[in-house]
Structure 1
Amino acid sequence: MVGTELKRNRDADDSGKTALPGNVKVTKEDWLNLAMDLLVSHGVSEVKVQVIGNRLGVSRSSFYWYFKSREDLLNQLLAKWEQTNTGVLIRYSELKAATITEAVTNFFRSIVAPGGFDHQLDFAVREWARRDKAVRQVIDRSDSARHEALMRMYERFGYPSAEADIRARVLYYQQIGYYALELSETLEERLARVEGYLYCFTGVQPSRNEVEAFFEFARNPGRT
Structure 2
Amino acid sequence: MNKTNKLSQQDWIKAAFDTLSESGVTAVRVETLAKRLGVTKGSFYWHFKSRQALLDEVLEKWRSEQRVMNRVDVIGGSAREKLINLLESVPRTTPRNSSGATELAVRSWARNDELAAATLATVDKQRIDWVKSYFMDMGYEEQVAESRAFLTYGYIMVQGIFSIENMPGILERIHDDVLELLFSK
Q: Which letter does structure 2 place at the counterpart of 1:29? A: Q
Alignment counterpart, residue 179 of structure 1, candidates 148, 160, 166: 160
Q: Which letter does structure 1 place at the counterpart of 2:11? A: D
Structure 1 residues 123, 139: CA separation in 2 closer, same or farther (over 3 Å shift)?
Answer: same
Contact kept? 1:92, 1:109, Cα under 8 Å: no
1:105, CA displacement in angstroms?
2.1
Alignment counterpart, residue 121 of structure 1, candidates 84, 102, 109: 102
So what's the TM-score if we normalise by structure 1? 0.70
1:101-160 Cα shifts (integer Å, max 9, x gaps): x22222124434xxx981110110111111112211111111111100000011112111
Unaligned 5+ runs, structure 1: 1-21, 205-224
So what's the TM-score if we normalise by structure 2? 0.83
CA distance in 2 between counterparts of 1:43 and 1:194 reads 30
Root-mean-square deviation over aligned CA pairs = 2.3
Q: Which residue of 2 aligns with 1:107?
A: 86
Q: How many aligned residue pairs are there?
A: 176
Contact kept? 1:43, 1:128, Cα under 8 Å: yes
SS in 1 for 2:90: helix
Structure 1 residues 79, 41: CA separation in 2 closer, same or farther (over 3 Å shift)?
Answer: same
Alignment counterpart, residue 177 of structure 2, candidates 187, 193, 196: 196
Q: Which letter does structure 1 place at the counterpart of 2:77? A: A
Q: Which letter does structure 2 place at the counterpart of 1:172? A: Y
Q: Which residue of 2 aligns with 1:98?
A: 78
1:186-218 Cα shifts (integer Å, max 9, x gaps): 5x65334432221111117xxxxxxxxxxxxxx
Q: Which residue of 2 aligns with 1:42?
A: 23
CA distance in 1 between counterparts of 2:38 and 2:155 reads 42
Task: Tell me the percent identity.
Answer: 27
Q: Which residue of 2 aligns with 1:166?
A: 147
Q: Which letter does structure 1 place at the counterpart of 2:42? A: S
Unaligned 5+ runs, structure 2: 92-96
Q: Which residue of 1 aligns with 2:36?
A: 55
Q: Which letter does structure 1 place at the counterpart of 2:181? A: C
1:77, CA displacement in angstroms?
0.4
1:13-33 Cα shifts (integer Å, max 9, x gaps): xxxxxxxxx121323332222
Structure 1 residues 41, 134: CA separation in 2 closer, same or farther (over 3 Å shift)?
Answer: same
CA distance in 1 between counterparts of 2:98 and 2:34 reads 27
CA distance in 1 between counterparts of 2:128 and 2:78 reads 21
Contact kept? 1:128, 1:135, Cα under 8 Å: yes
Q: Which letter does structure 2 place at the counterpart of 1:40? A: S
Higher helix share: 2
